[in-house]
Structure 1
């Protein structure tokens, strides 16, 4: 029995063994792998078309130096989408509702973009801290503000993904609980809340895909500034 609405966000443990590793590795098992045949089946063809279109759209604004990140960003996008979508199924766990996991993904990737910029073009990378044409009295203040905003970027990446998924799961559980409670007392109201629950579930499916895309899109924008 669920004692709290937030118990669903606890890391699952079975016989004292954490199941976080299983939850993180399961998505890769669900995808078909390329075969040695000349022609693939429809599912494999659709998957290849989606990956090609997404990679092309993602790398469009990037320079040639950023194209090295294509495999990493595309695989991370598919990984996040799958984790978010699987978390909407009953009796499942969403690892991306854990802030520690999201920060563990966002911080190293953000730091890698900063280090690439400092190594390849340090003048341009440092130039982002001070907009062109800034009055002299405002220079120290703007440098401090831009530095703070630079270090807040990984926190914003992790918190955005965590907050959106957590809020959606809480709303679904609250409305589902209200539906079951109202069903024997007020059936018509329960039907109304069930309709709202269905619409909210469809919205959460869209949010699960959009938030994964936004996470990768912001990383590509950070990379664009430093390549």
Structure 2
């Protein structure tokens, strides 16, 4: 059976190049070694790559209330590094794209969102409930505003996870289409093949940028959700 453009999302399709389970285990071990290398490694190649990324996400976290929550900055910054690594691992040809699946993105977004809700509720239940009603709203509109605000808060982990999975899936599908056209045009005119190859290389570079941007947006929204924490 010939693979289609959605084959990269099938975990059982590309076991010939590298077993998916082994690749996932090695990837997780790499995350453990790279995320907090600054604790025992100084001036290494890994820290040269990790430190600028950490500085970028810490700058954003310092602007939100998550900076005042114990452990939130470490968790979100580690999630940022892990998402970048997972997105880049999905760029390897004939490998399983983990971040394109909702179960992976939901496993990251739902616990983080729920932890903010539980932390806020345990700190001050009254202030947490008070966030459901905007200030200065008319009395007759209050029941509808509470329902709308509650719905918007409940769907946050779904929209957060869907956004990452959908964007990464769309990017990989377009990359597969461009690669298919390049393979089919390999034996055609030299000029057309050269243009397709240059287009493919340009889109691959664009994909690397997408991997970084989507990881940043995911953690940016998580940090913004912490602003609703009772304080």
**TM-score in same-fold range (> 0.5):** yes
**Does 2:46 match 1:41?**
no
The equivalent of 1:133 in structure 2 is: 136
Question: Quick check: 2:57–2:80 contact (8 Å CA) kept in 1?
Answer: no
CA RMSD of aligned residues (A): 2.7
Distance 1:210 1:136, change over 3 A: same
Question: Quick check: 2:50–2:81 contact (8 Å CA) kept in 1?
Answer: no
Q: Report the 3-state secondary structure (helix = DSSP H, G, I; strand = E; otherwise coil) of the residue aligned with 1:71.
A: helix
Segments of 5+ residues of structure 1 without an aligned counterpart are: none
Q: Distance in 2 between matches of 1:42 and 1:22?
A: 24
Which of 70, 75, 80 is matched with 2:83 structurally? Answer: 80
**Does 2:119 match 1:113?**
no
Question: Quick check: 2:9–2:96 contact (8 Å CA) kept in 1?
Answer: yes
TM-score (ref. length: structure 1): 0.86
Q: Which is worse superposed, 87-96 or 97-106? A: 87-96
Which of 140, 158, 163 is matched with 2:161 structurally? Answer: 158
Q: Distance in 2 between matches of 1:48 and 1:167?
A: 27
Question: Quick check: 1:179–1:193 contact (8 Å CA) kept in 2?
Answer: yes
Aligned length: 224
**Does 2:76 match 1:66?**
no
Question: Quick check: 1:9–1:93 contact (8 Å CA) kept in 2?
Answer: yes
Question: Quick check: 1:117–1:226 contact (8 Å CA) kept in 2?
Answer: yes
The equivalent of 2:201 in structure 1 is: 198
Q: Report the 3-state secondary structure (helix = DSSP H, G, I; strand = E; otherwise coil) of the residue aligned with 2:96.
A: coil
Q: Distance in 2 between matches of 1:36 and 1:226?
A: 34
Question: Quick check: 1:129–1:147 contact (8 Å CA) kept in 2?
Answer: yes
Question: Quick check: 1:23–1:95 contact (8 Å CA) kept in 2?
Answer: no
Q: Which is worse superposed, 187-196 or 83-92? A: 187-196
Question: Quick check: 1:84–1:96 contact (8 Å CA) kept in 2?
Answer: yes
**Does 2:178 match 1:175?**
yes
